[in-house]
Amino acid sequence: MNVLVVDTGSASLHLRVLGPDDEVLAQADVGGADGPQTDRAWRDLAAGDLPISAVGHRLVHGGPRLSQPTVIDDKVRAELEGVAKLAPLHVPQALAALDEARTALPDVPHVACFDTAFHADLPEAARMYALPAEWRERYGLRRYGFHGLSYAWALGHAAELIGRPVDEIQVVLTHLGGGCSACAVREGRSVDTTMGFTPLEGLVMCRRSGSVDPGLLLWLQTEHGLDADEITQTLNRRSGLAGLSDISDDTRDLVRARVSGDAAAALALDVFTHYARRGIAAMAASLDRLDALVFTGEIGEDQPEVREEICAGLGVLGLSAGLIPGNPSGPAIVSGPDADVPVLVVPTGEVPQIAAEVRATLARL
């Protein structure tokens, strides 16, 4: 079965056709979910000689009812429209790509794969906000968690690296990329995570603020007249590393600027790694022991300085500085042989994870 994987970002669209052994048979990368380049990419895929048996769509948010990979029909499509506002940087663009794909390839099954599904069984204490029952029930307020496709892929490889079954290990996984989060996994199950109702909660990110005092936001509204749209745009697009440094949202740029003496770049990296350490330590509190710390995501796998600084400040968890420098070409242990807690790097694998979930879903029909 050849599976076309549609991975839509906030300003990009990545198309990959994976063969039965997850080899990439065709690919296209365009600047967004619509436009002339996108139309041409869909036409080329639909008209090509490469047979496509199914399409897998990455959806960041599935809302309260879509908590496992699901074959898309008109009813599911309407349900997804209802959760688009919970992840405004991602879901609207993903739905535009989904519509294009269903038009271009109407005769094959389309499957939605959700980042929230990995966290669907969070324990009640980790899932609940301390809000009145009336609010929780009327508005469906709960913590969902995200980056689940990345975590599912990283977890399997982490278990292989430390030579133990998935259902026997307790690890903290951290996805550091455009969005950033950490997750506690106990015996194959997500038991806590730093993101919540939306992908804005938790760690400092590239352009997203992560968690801020809700009282601060109320104060900006009541005392300074900032409206909801301005606050939304600022928290989602003008904060994080970009807002702290006023230079770049890319850690590579900031590491270089810090070496050149840029104080704002140094501060941005200090805040980023501080919040990452705080999140990792919080996740470890949901475990009985820490069998490994796992880094994935573009920053997690490609920025050794960030990994080093995070681990150097987590001696309380048995971690330490002195990681192997550079970036491994595949899943690898980057801590020394005498490390009390191994530190692992697993390259991001949402695309093959989606293909695997699509095949498993269709096999059950």
Average pLDDT, the chain: 94
**What token pair was written down for 306?**
């960030």
**What token pair was written down for 88?**
């405004």
Instruction: For 86-133, give the secondary structure using H, E and C.
Output: HCCCCHHHHHHHHHHHHHHCCCCCEEEEECCHHHCCCCHHHHCCCCCH
Choose the catalytic residue: 44, 107, 115, 167. Answer: 115
Q: Does pLDDT of 185 surpass 80?
A: yes
Q: Tell me what pLDDT residue 13 has.
A: 87
Q: pLDDT-based confidence at 133, cuts 50/70/90?
A: very high
Alpha carbons 27 and 184: distance in angstroms, whole number: 33
- Coil, helix or strand for 34? coil
In the block, tokens 């096999």 appear at: 363
Q: Tell me what pLDDT residue 12 has.
A: 78
Residue-wise pLDDT tens digits, 276-288: 999 999 999 999 9
Q: Tell me what pLDDT residue 34 has.
A: 67
- For 329: left if phi > 0, alpha if psi spans -120 to 50, otherwise beta; the answer is alpha
Q: Tell me what pLDDT residue 38 has.
A: 72
Residue-wise pLDDT tens digits, 228-247: 999 999 999 999 999 999 99
Q: Tell me what pLDDT residue 43 has.
A: 74
Q: Tell me what pLDDT residue 137 has.
A: 94
Catalytic: 115?
yes
User: What contacts 96, CB < 8 A, 6 or more positions away?
Assistant: 8, 33, 34
Phi, psi dihedrals of residue 142, rounded to the nearest 5°: -165, 170
Quick check: 145 and 193 in contact, CB under 8 A?
yes
pTM: 0.95
State the average pLDDT over residues 156-162: 98
**What is the distance between the terminal CA atoms of the chain, rounded to a whole angstrom?**
15
Alpha carbons 352 and 349: distance in angstroms, whole number: 6
* Percent of the chain scoring above 90 in pLDDT: 86
Give the pairing type, strands 110-114 and 54-59.
Answer: parallel
Residue-wise pLDDT tens digits, 31-74: 766 666 777 777 777 667 789 999 999 999 999 899 999 999 99
Mean pLDDT lowest among 29-43, 98-112, 159-173, 270-284: 29-43
Mean pLDDT lowest among 3-12, 51-60, 321-330, 332-341: 3-12
Alpha carbons 164 and 177: distance in angstroms, whole number: 27
